[in-house]
Amino acid sequence: MVDGVINASAADEEPGRTRPGVPAFIRLWLGGWPLAQLALYLGTLLVFIWLGRNLLANMARLGLTPGFAFMGHTANYEIGESFIAYAAGDSYARAALVGLLNTIAVSALGCLVATGLGVSLGIARLSPNPLISRLVQAYVELLRNTPLLLQLFAWNTVIHLLPVPKQALSPLPGILLSNRGLFLPAIDTGGHGLPMLAVVSASLIATWAILRRRRRLAGPSPRRVVALAYLAALSVPLAVAAGFGIAFTPDIPALKGFNIRGGASMTPEFAALMLGLAVNASASIAETVRAGILAIPNGQWEAARSLGLRPLAVMRLVILPQALRIIIPVMTSSYLSLTKNSSLAVAIGFPDLVSILNTTANVSGQALEVIALMLGAYLTLSLATSAVMNAYNRSHVLRSERR
């Protein structure tokens, strides 16, 4: 379309060739060979009409009504795990929402873990110590050269090979690993967890925004002020909540009877999928980070060192900000593929969006509508992830370029 606008202004300067107005616009947009194009579009239309007629005839034969009304009907299947209340007998729409939330949860946590793991491994890969860099290289090669589905099968097998809750492994105090899942310590707020989390995050984000604005206007604040501001942002909402009578008690998982109770838990399927996706993505993120850092000219390292910066400060203040410019766009596609790969959940029995929608299609028979929902949901998620990452890229990484 941008081309079209440029051409339009160019065409205006050449009298006699194109007159402004609707016909000119159509010709600019359609371009040459109008008959051949018309034939192509008509042909497409005819194919779609033929497919649509077949579809309607087949659906009528099977006794199905086209449209999304069936999403309100009751779904007669159970779902293994869910962030919202769900039971067999709720609507298909609610089941799909359960799947969507599961997909978002496993992808978001997976992206977080993959980033932490991948960035550390990417930096370790550049270590002058050959033992470390070779080890990371072997890790990356192993993960990149085997199929993700195989890795997920393997994680699933490993997690189910873990000991029963009675002999659960405890790598760190408070963390329990068993074949019933992964248990972490948590803080019990008596059912006010989600609102509390929202309030505290909002307060932290507000503090960050205020500090950022201050830094823009008046230069960097002293470190003490920054630390105090964040401490206040964290503690004031908690103190107010405590004043309203919400008790904060540590919730440490422990063995009770034959199972582990308390704490925050992940089911074996969720843990296998999340770890499999995160570890797989960490290999490509490590390579991205490594390539991004290697792309920074040597002069930058030398200049930073000659200013007397310590190695960590060189990395943090000089190299990483420049490398991020290369890293962020590639990282976006790593996040996108992790989100799409979370659909492999169906192979290890985690109820994600694809798995639940596939069940819905098989039970209700409304395949076209369900596939449309599936494609629409993933396109929206992909576009949303791209939009967020592009916004971050514009506001943080390319900021200096704009000035």
Interface residues toward another protein, by CB under 8 A: 1, 3-4, 29-33, 37, 40-41, 44, 51, 54-55, 57-59, 61, 127-132, 135, 141-142, 144-150, 153-154, 157, 340-344, 346-347, 354, 358, 361, 367-368, 370-371, 374-375, 378-379, 382-383
Shortest Å, Cβ 28 to another protein: 8
85 vs 161, beta carbon nearer another protein: 161
147 vs 193, beta carbon nearer another protein: 147
Beta 249-251 vs 186-188: how paired, if at all? antiparallel
CB atoms within 10 A of CB 88: 11
Shortest Å, Cβ 371 to another protein: 5
Shortest Å, Cβ 284 to another protein: 11
Residues 149, 239 contacting (CB under 8 angstroms): no
Placement of tokens 């769900």 in the chain: 86
Shortest Å, Cβ 276 to another protein: 12
Torsion over CA: 327, 328, 330, 331 (sign): positive
157 vs 235, beta carbon nearer another protein: 157
132 vs 320, beta carbon nearer another protein: 132
C-alpha angle 228-230-233 in degrees, rounded to nearest 5 = 110
349 closest CA partner among 78, 146, 141, 93? 78
Shortest Å, Cβ 383 to another protein: 7
233 vs 381, beta carbon nearer another protein: 381
24 vs 184, beta carbon nearer another protein: 24
233 vs 344, beta carbon nearer another protein: 344
Shortest Å, Cβ 120 to another protein: 13
147 three-class SS:
coil
104 closest CA partner among 121, 86, 82? 82
- Cα(117)–Cα(89) distance, rounded to whole angstroms? 41
144 vs 213, beta carbon nearer another protein: 144
- Cα(282)–Cα(331) distance, rounded to whole angstroms? 10
C-alpha angle 346-347-352 in degrees, rounded to nearest 5 = 20
Shortest Å, Cβ 265 to another protein: 25
Reported as half-sphere exposure (CB side, CA atoms, 13 A), residue 182 has a value of 15
Shortest Å, Cβ 40 to another protein: 7
Shortest Å, Cβ 361 to another protein: 6
Residues 263, 183 contacting (CB under 8 angstroms): yes
Residue 17 phi, psi (nearest 5): -95, -50
CB atoms within 10 A of CB 205: 11
155 vs 183, beta carbon nearer another protein: 155
Placement of tokens 């202004």 in the chain: 9
